[in-house]
Amino acid sequence: MVLKQIFDTDSSTYSYILVSNEANAIIIDPVTKDLEKYKNIFQELDVTLIFSVETHTHADHISGSGALNEIYGSKILSSLDKMDSRAHRIQDGEMIELDEIQIKCLHTPGHTDDSYCFILESENPNILFSGDTLLIGGTGRSDFQNGCPSSLYESITKKLFTLDDKTLVYPGHDYNGLTLSSIAHEKNHNPRLANKSKKEFIEIMTNLNLSYPKMIDKAVPLNKNFGMLDKD
């Protein structure tokens, strides 16, 4: 398997491309602005894009899943509850399988109510694509899109932190030039979580005083249709 990590400088978003031994590909959290980057990678590796996977409905960038579906016919996998021939609604515990690649879907609400993380179980050590649920030395915010600090704490401590300590963590964002972490490192060193009670975590999250996301009013409506204008 080949794994590529692509960074979007405007939103500090990481997208991930996984390529199977049969030259079939999965992309996680594509950004519309970076479509040319992805197309060049697909061409360079001579692969076929099969799945486009969304960790949640993003507020800071426009999803590229809809555009990739139009270009490549790739199936969109997300938690959005909608009847759509382009998409499949994932469920907690569901397995995504593509050749030798096996990915488990984990519903991890808290950043948003539709947040998912994905565990690549066909690698040793396993790899966690944590979206905005767990970041390196932080977490996603929980003050919009039905976010909830209590749910976020439960998702991280009862689902993600029960994974093997050696599990690698590839986040949905990073703002400090970091590319990956591990479950053990985040358990022991994440300042919002290490040795923090649920009450302490909720207090931290409640008092972040973050600014209103500058793209949320444009991004969320578009991303409910996978980054595309609704034709209806």
CATH of the domain at 15: 3.60.15.10
Give domain status of residue 160, yes or no: yes
- Using the predicted structure, report yes or no on whether residue 232 has a pLDDT greater than 70: no
Separation CA 47–CA 24 (nearest Å): 5
Give domain status of residue 225, yes or no: no
Q: Which domain holds residue 86?
A: 2-211
155-198 pLDDT, tens digit per residue, is 999 999 999 999 999 999 999 999 999 999 999 999 999 999 99
Mean pLDDT of the chain: 97
pLDDT of the residue at 231: 62
Give domain status of residue 222, yes or no: no
Give domain status of residue 52, yes or no: yes
86-120 pLDDT, tens digit per residue, is 999 999 999 999 999 999 999 999 999 999 999 99
Give domain status of residue 79, yes or no: yes
Q: Do the beta carbons of residue 33 and residue 45 sit within 8 Å?
A: no
Share of the chain above pLDDT 90, in %: 95
**Residue 43 burial (C-beta neighbours within 10 Å; 0-12, 13-18, 19+):** exposed
Separation CA 142–CA 145 (nearest Å): 8
Give domain status of residue 230, yes or no: no
**Residues with Cβ within 8 Å of residue 122, at least 6 apart in sequence:** 1, 100, 101, 102, 103
Query: Is 201 in a helix, a strand, or coil?
Result: helix
Give domain status of residue 232, yes or no: no
- Using the predicted structure, report yes or no on whether residue 31 has a pLDDT greater than 70: yes
Separation CA 121–CA 97 (nearest Å): 10
Domain count along the chain = 1
Angle formed at CA 149 by CA 102 and CA 79, multiple of 5 degrees: 35
Pick from 94, 137, 87: nearest CA to 116: 94
Band of residue 230 on the pLDDT scale cut at 50, 70, 90: confident
Give domain status of residue 192, yes or no: yes
> Which run of H or of E encompasses 18?
strand 13-19
Which residue's structure tokens are 């972040």? Answer: 208
